[in-house]
A and B are shown apart, each in its own frame.
Chain A
Amino acid sequence: MQFVINGIVAGALYSLVALGFSLIFSTARFFHFAHGALYCVAAYLVYFFASVLGWTPWVAVPCAVGGVAFLGGLVELGVYRPLRHRRASSDILLVASLGLFIVLQNLISLAFGDATKLLRSGPIKEGVLFLGARITPIQIDMVIAAVICITVLGCVLRFSGAGKKIRAVADDSELAQILGVHTDRVVLGVFTSGSILAGVAAILAGFDSDITPLMGFSVLFMAVVAAIIGGVGSIGGAALGGLLLGLTQQFVAATLSTRWQEVCVFVLLIVFLILRPEGILGKPLRKARI
């Protein structure tokens, strides 16, 4: 039972990151690897505000989320938008985002050092028993946050005017622009909100365990895998993919060994890429265009 609970908690984390990643991919059409670095930045902002400046978490957390949203927007404005306006291919955007990832991650380890840091103060609260398995309060928060974010995002995309615009840009950004949608503004909004999702996930994960400058890397890859398995561009898909991935990972850890967790996850990815690259809930991929 414990591995199911652990899997759901891990899955909630991956879903949150995958959600932002997938949302950004569906509108901006490239793999935004720097998403993983923004994730890490959020956790370190909380550390900086709370442990270095001594603010209470109630102030530090919102400020960190705001900070990472700002940074996400800045990355779009400063790097991606000029590239997009020059009609750069998705390969170029991908390499630029790899560069950004490397820069941000190393700036963090330069500023804070490579050692593990703790966000929480005081001892770990003992987990509560739930269906015969232990779960800590912060892990419950993580699951709740994921459920709330997925529902809210799903509703916004489905029912609100802003959501309609986002879907229009995701479908065909040129057509949306012709019909008077400010595509740049929509993409900027998507980058900011996607970064907020990553930030929330990172902060919760940071309070749950600890933070290191490398934390963004593995989570990003798990999120990418989750997004692809679930179906890139689909909200439900990101949630489902995250959950499936979390469960698989914990199942492997419980039955086989934690050593081969990563291999199993990436084998799962390859299997999906070969047999069903559009993912569980995604729309079929367009093959080459003439």
Chain B
Amino acid sequence: MEYLGHVLVLVAIYTVLAASLNVLVGHAGILSVAQAAFYGVGAYASALLAVRLGAPFIVGLLAGMVVAVLVSFVVSLPSLRLHGDYFVIATFGFQMILYSVFNNWMGLTDGPLGIPGIPQPVIFGWRVESHFEFLVLAAVLAAFAYLVVWRITASPFGRVLHAIREDEVFAQALGKNTLRFKVTAFAVSAALAASAGSLYAHYITYIDPTSSTVMESILVLSMVIIGGAGSPWGPLVGAVVLVTLPEALRFVGFPSSVAANLRQIVYGVLLVIMMMFRPRGLVGRYGFGR
């Protein structure tokens, strides 16, 4: 039961991440591979606040989101002027830079040693301790993320994002400042990713740079694409599939060393197959990257 709870908490956290990236990939049609970096920003910001200053969970969560928004401006303002592949490369670059900062800024993050002893969250007197309680909290966060994404994408703002996805020049011709819309979408996406990171840090009670690598970013991107970019249920389906698949591999009886590689192979193969035969994802409608 403990184990099942843990897997479900992970599913919920990854759902938040995938839903946040879906705003960019699915709705605005911009491919970013820096999501794990923002996840890391949120995790580190709230972990440092909690451990060094004793700040409560809610403060850390909000501070992480604010810091992530600020960092997202640094990333998006220069790089969103680029198009297509060049934007992807720019986000790769920022992902590498942020990872390197987490890994090397010993004074702040303690580098590869990580930050241990992050307290479990206390929200208005409710002490979140058991897996079940964390599951409730993570589910609330996931529901919140879904609500935010839904509100945004169903609004006039979302319609402009969709217009940018379909034809950016056309949206510009209609007088829309597309850069401003994309920068805003990027900031919202970063803030949601940071909230997932903050929850993760307080759940595991330890954070180190390995949770914000490029590979992690690619994993989140895969969740969005495999689930179905731009579709409301895509991120959830993608997160469920890609989190439970490796667990299933473990039950089949592969040793954990092999299972780690197999898991990656399976999702790599899934990516290729989806791109070849079903680019709109498992439950998608729009089709990714037309």
Contact = CB atoms under 8 A, between A and B. Distances in A.
B67 interface: no
Interface residues of B, number: 43
Interface in A97-112: 98-103, 105-107, 109-110
B16 to A, nearest CB: 22
Contacts of B290: 89
A156 interface: no
B204 interface: no
A178 B198 CA distance: 56
Contacts of B104: 259-260, 263
Contacts of B79: 270, 273-274
Contact of B89 (A99, A101, A224): A224
B96 interface: yes
A225 B86 CA distance: 11
**SS class of chain B's interface: helix, strand, loop or mixed?**
helix
Q: How large is the interface on A (under 10, 10 to 19, 20 to 34, 35 or more residues)?
A: 35 or more
Contact of A110 (B89, B265, B288): B265
A287 B100 CA distance: 32
Most buried by B among A95, A224, A289: A95
Contacts of A93: 275
Interface stretch (B50-58, B136-144, B256-264): B256-264
Nearest to B214: A217
B189 to A, nearest CB: 17
Most buried by A among B104, B258, B275: B275
Given A92-B288, A260-B100, A270-B90, A103 B268 contact: yes
A272 B85 CA distance: 15
Nearest to B99: A262
A290 interface: yes
A99 B88 contact: no
Contacts of B94: 266, 270
B89 A31 contact: yes
A88 interface: yes
A273 B100 contact: no
A100 B272 contact: yes
Interface in B69-127: 78-79, 81-86, 88-90, 92-94, 96-97, 100-101, 104
B206 interface: no
B93 A103 contact: no
B265 A273 contact: no
A221 B33 CA distance: 14
A112 to B, nearest CB: 11
B5 interface: no
B168 interface: yes
B121 to A, nearest CB: 32
Interface string A78-98: 010011000011111111101
A263 B97 contact: yes
Interface of B: 31, 78-79, 81-86, 88-90, 92-94, 96-97, 100-101, 104, 168-169, 218, 221-222, 225, 258, 261-262, 264-265, 267-272, 275-276, 279, 288-290
B82 A94 contact: no
Given A30-B85, A92-B275, A270 B269 contact: no
Q: Which 10 A-B pairs have the closest CB atoms?
A: A99-B271, A91-B289, A102-B268, A103-B268, A96-B275, A99-B272, A266-B93, A89-B289, A106-B264, A106-B261
Given A30-B85, A89-B289, A270-B94, A79 B276 contact: yes
A88 B93 contact: no
A267 B97 contact: yes
A288 interface: yes
A101 B268 contact: yes
Contact of A102 (B81, B92, B271): B271
Nearest to A103: B268
Interface in A253-285: 259-260, 262-263, 266-267, 269-270, 273-274, 277, 285
Nearest to B103: A259
A225 B96 CA distance: 12
A23 interface: no
A94 B271 CA distance: 11
Given A266-B93, A270-B79, A102 B267 contact: yes
Nearest to B279: A92
B289 A92 contact: yes
A277 B90 CA distance: 10
A259 B103 CA distance: 9
B262 A110 contact: yes
Contacts of A89: 289-290
Given A96-B275, A99-B222, A100-B272, 7 more contacts: A88-B289, A94-B31, A98-B268, A100-B268, A266-B97, A270-B79, A277-B82
